[in-house]
Chains A and B, each alone.
Chain A
Amino acid sequence: NAGVMQNPRHLVRRRGQEARLRCSPMKGHSHVYWYRQLPEEGLKFMVYLQKENIIDESGMPKERFSAEFPKEGPSILRIQQVVRGDSAAYFCASSPESRVYEQYFGPGTRLTVT
């Protein structure tokens, strides 16, 4: 049973470019969560999605960031016009239904903005 998959594992973008991070949840999981982790800091919640629905986006920056979880395919976190401060590890987690206490994390995507 494959775990949560994220790709790419490493992504380098120049300032002003777009970054697209993908997350495939565990089989049977319909809820996806995105987090950002800066060096030596904990995970910061960004957004919580169900298929075709954003449940909680209270942690998402108001500009340049968006997320979706379509009916078919992976969840995507999109960062437009990246800046150096966006450099971080981005983790995706999934859970069965709405069991926010049972999240299983992927290996993360490390974004570097040059």
Chain B
Amino acid sequence: QKEVEQDPGPLSVPEGAIVSLNCTYSNSAFQYFMWYRQYSRKGPELLMYTYSSGNKEDGRFTAQVDKSSKYISLFIRDSQPSDSATYLCASDMRFGAGTRLTVKP
């Protein structure tokens, strides 16, 4: 079993839609939870991080962590074509496989 599981998608949505990306993790000792965005053939870019259960908002992005169910989510409001990328969830230094998102104009 992978330590961080993530649905690889692909996920395709129309511009303006709300996007929901989800991950689960298996190790209850994990303390930190991060979301990265990766464009093709580039390095991952840190979007958000948190280390507690609850929500954290940054502009159009909201990260949500539920430690009781070991569930991590990222919501993107008013999605834009420029949001098209692969989104990676991570816990401590373990990464999910990434979800490929396409936002169509």
Contacts and interface: CB of A to CB of B under 8 A. Distances in A.
Chains A and B are bound partners: yes
B97 A106 contact: no
A33 B42 contact: no
**Chain B binding site: helix, strand, loop or mixed by DSSP?**
strand
Interface string A39-58: 01111110010000000100
B42 A107 contact: yes
Nearest to A106: B43
A105 B49 contact: no
A112 to B, nearest CB: 14
Interface size grouping (class) on chain A:
20 to 34
B43 A105 contact: yes
B43 A107 contact: yes
A42 B42 contact: no
Contacts of B34: 101, 103
Contact of A91 (B44, B92, B93): B44
B66 interface: no
